[in-house]
Structure 1
Amino acid sequence: MLHRSFIFFLILPVLAAGQTRVQKFLHAIKTAKTDSTKIELYRELVNYYKISNLDSATYFAQQGLVLARKGGYRLAELRMTSLMGAINEQHGNRVLAMNYYREALEGFRETGDLKGMAACTNGLGVIEGRQGNFNIALSHFFKALKMYEKAGDKFGMIQTYIKIGTATRLSGNMPAALKYLNQARDLNMQVGDKETELSLFNNIGIVYAQQGQMAKALRFFEEGVRKSGDKGFEIVNINLLTNAGGAAKNLGDRSRALRYHRISLQKARSSKLPEEEARALMNIASAVDDQGPKVSLPYLDQALIIAKRLGNKTLMAEIYEAQSDGFRHLHDYKSALGAVQERHKLLDSMFNINKAKEIANLQSAYELDKSKEKVERLELVNNTRTIQRNAGILAAFLIMCFLVLLLLYIRKIRALNTNLKNSNLVKDKLFSIIGHDLRGPIGTVVQMLGTMEETELDPDELKPIVSVLKKQSEASLGTLDTLLQWGKTQLQGVRVNKISFRPDDAIHKNLSIFAATASQKHIDVSVSVPDGLLLYGDPDHFDFIIRNLLSNAIKFTYPYGKIEVKAVNGPQQGSMIFSVSDNGKGMNPAEKDRIFNCFSEPKEGTSGERGTGIGLVLCKEFIQADNGEIWVESREGEGSVFSFSVKSAYDSPFSSPRQTSGVSFT
């Protein structure tokens, strides 16, 4: 049976025009008699392309920008600059987007254009919101709201209220989100903009869904479906149908959900929207997964054909993931493996593309810093010349400045030397891991593969060799994953994306990952976590921490030992304490004191397992980034208890009935 997540789609303003419309725009630009008319046509072309095609949107925006500067159309130039910010923000080029928005904001401030200032301020808020900086984003949005109020722009106020509602929802404040979305709704009743009305039905429905009030959410989605049936709102209608189907499924009404998804499929096909058609097929597969994979897989096959034709790698990866689940339930592990491998290829490809984009953004930031440094250097030269002209009067002042600068320089050199020393320690650690923890297992794999190539072995002889190969390969993969995660934090710092989430999902997922390893050592694992518990933090960080602590507990527990995963109310209101305890090797005081140190020497497990020593360092960094703490209690020969604190999604102590489950791997 397939289990797919219910996804809510935010409605985006999409221009559904064909290639003939583009040709009309280009012809109109060629025949336009005035530059101002051409600039306005370029602006419409940019709005057409800014969501679907970054290169085309950038090209036409630059053409309009050049024409505006050449003709001295200052406001048109600023609007094109703001559009360049919107284009780059839409496609994830954060640094460039912020530079364009700030440049346009400064220009609008000089000309006194409140609407332009508000639009750029909103753009900066959206960028901060996408980075998870919701407080900064809200500060921008409220500034923009005041500007629109002063300008008397009701439509701008409505759009800003929606942004404030979205930011407060993403930060976990659902009552505030409803308040601002309803303010936007009340104001829109005066304006009467239908697209905004539909967007509000969708956004309010999302808030109720995230609060768990699916019946209310469904009512809003259905009302939006009813009102979006007119021509020109096809994509909005399809998204609302999708959300209505998701809500119905969550309420257990699969027939109703299936009906909505089938209508969505029909509309996508009649409107010639292939991506929406593929997603509708995926949703249908999810709605019928209770009937078994043989019923749902054909829909996924159809969706995959469309995704391949579109070249949409993200969509293809989602479909392959769903197919692998279906094949596993059919016990067709060969097909399941093939789907997983195809998904990993796509994810690797997308990872490389994203990395290239990040490098380009870093390069842009570097160039910007260089420009600022050059300006500062020129200002310093100018100040020096001024001081030289007044040397007689300011001699004493210059000597004092020199001494201060010298002191700062010495302090900077010392700091650089300290950083260099730490960098060398990190380098030595890295080469130690590569030379020992990676080279050893990989060398064993190569040696065994050579034996298999040179010697004809029967299946009974192959089985233990393959088992060893699998163990060594998994060890190398785990080491590489940890190194990559550690390297990412060294380069970019720890990024936090806080949301409300259920911890038991991550716990049981990681128990299934380590089931085979624990089974080999006949270890009994028990879980004691309150039923229905919700945490507020970064779910990816929590998943990594639980996975690492479980892996260490299994590694250092003797055969037929015991491990317990436990959650209790913390000493502070609204906090929870999670612990992973074992009765394994334990640690002496010296080992315990340096266990969270990047440069500590890793120990061998009870069956000779080795680690990198980096995992616990990352756990500590992730927990501290989430404003939590981690500590360990251990005695040599008696076992260890690793505990960490995390924020609960509830303001008061959690008192739901405790859920206790045990897993014995024998």
Structure 2
Amino acid sequence: MNLGLIKLHKLMGLFRGCIVLCIFFNGILYSIKAQDSNRDTLINEIEQIKLSANFNSKDTVYINSLLELANRYRFHYLDSLKILSEKSLELSKNASYINGEINSYHALGGFYSDKGRIDQAIEYFSKAYKLADKYDDHLLKAGILNDLAKEYGYKGEYSKALKWYLATIEIAEKYDYKNIISIVNDNIAHLYLEQKDYEQAMVFLQKSKSIHEEIGNPIFLAETLSNIASTYADMNELDYAMYNINISIATFEKEKILEWLAYCYEIKGKIYLKKNKNTWALYWYKQSELLHEEIEDDRAKIDLLNGMTEAYLNLEKDSIAEIHALNAFNLSKKIGLRLGIKNSAQKLSKIFKNKKDFEKSLWYHEIYQATYESLSAISNEKALSMLKTRVAYDQQKKQLILDNEKALAKQKIYIYVFIVILFIFAIITFLIHRNEQAQKKLNQQLRHKKTALEEKQAYLNELNQTKNKLFSIIGHDLRGPIGAFQGLLKLFKEGEMTKEEFLNFVPKLKVDIDTISFTLNNLLSWGQTQMNGSITKHSVTNLDSIVEENIALLSEIAESKSISLVNRIEPNCQIWSDPNQIDIIIRNLLSNALKFTPNNGQIVIGAIQKIKTCEIYVKDNGMGMSEDIISKLFEKDSNHTTYGTNNEKGTGLGLSLCKEMVEKNNGKIWVHSAIGKGSSFYFTIPRIQKQYKESA
């Protein structure tokens, strides 16, 4: 390649990159505009309420609109969230509107949480909870308790966090608040993730996923799937992580939820970082960074900055890594996140060591060491506290069960009396309806016998049809070639045909005998499936070896028509199937392709390995088929047969047999074809997959 072509290739690459970035920026701008539009609409509604003739600041509709607007500013304009929440709190107190007070305290707790002022967040969440508890608003209580527990988790007091999470679940289960149960399961999973107990975390995440799938809310499901993806990444199950994060990204891009989309892009960057694909990791980290310019979520931004630092370090770009590590360190100090301080200090120590600035390297290492020891000690206490809390909670439940049993014991006398009355009533009822029940039993027996006779008749009819089809094929497709062969032998034996003339017929005789053999094999296999005599025995099957054997078997036919057989099956392609049945399927599909492909044609057989299945295809550039023929190909009772390009003939059994055997191996078969353009047959078979032990 000359220098001009190289430059042109690079320019084209840059052009494509610019197009991709333009598309992404347009998507982000559209999303931001959509959210701004929603807020503007709500602001206009509030202004309309204020301008109405009978406006009163104590109007609950007005207060609720202020609260809704305040919550929409979260993750975008935190100061506006605080101002509007304080205003709604003041108005709610003046109007004695309890719901408004509770939601205002709750919103202010969210503001202080996002600012990293945990104690103030706990104070406001506690005020909201006390009011909700006083007025017995169970839904608000559950939501507030969840946020309160989360704050104790940020603070490192896992015992209190788990206590409030369990209390939340108790309320949610009692009143069937499924969304809240799933959210709490996600949050409890995060407690275990902090201790690197990934298996236990995954148990709670899978519970949450099951609930969301039952409810059918795609946004909540995507939130849980993104947490599952992050956990799989920490477990180095990177294929599963990528699968789950791509589903989440698609949902959040569609719904334009920026804060969750930023988190998902950061997780995707982490997955590529785990794969040692640092350039791709940085690409997704930067997409997340762009979104963080529009939202306020410092906790998530710290993980993003640390991830970018690690990627730049791997690419040996220490100066850029240093900028991101310092930003992460300062932001962690600002909101008091010790885990962020530890991670960023460790990276800064390494960066300054590389720069030969050993004084700063030692200083950051000492910060890292002190934070690490603090977290380690706290982690041990956390683990013990969590265990004690769970045990105490279980004991409380057992005590409640015992109390209930005592209360039930007092009612047993009444229950026994009631049972005696019911027993007497049952005897009377039995005597009255005895004759009627006997009659019903007789009628039921007659119906069963009638059903059994009808089933036997259907089975005999099916056997009769199978017999008729076998005799039809034997009489029509086997008797002809065999009769021709006998006639030639008779002519040769009686001297009416010379040896040279007989030898001229040998190639045709061989084709006829091969056709008879192939037809007999198909008949035997089909007959066994129809007579319930064919048993599918699954085992680990090497697909490539089966394909190679069939290509060798059919190579002579292919050579006679100058058709090239191309095998694109990978040598390590293994499937879970009955090897004998797969052999019959491959042979029939290749034989059909050879039959309908003209001289000098090409047949390709290959496989696409997916997560759970292997999709196998046989493609030819032959005659092709009309839609009418395709619709009848796989019918069980179809006798349809077509002559090949060299007048080859079949029984019409091959594709029906293929369909039955593919389905016995838990797969599906289909075809794409057009007249004059060839045909492509596809079928799927389960793959061999790594088994994962699920945590209790």
Does TM, normalized by the shorter one, top 0.5? no
Answer 1 or 2: higher relative contact order, Cα 8 Å, separation at least 6.
1
TM-score, length basis structure 1: 0.41
TM-score, length basis structure 2: 0.40
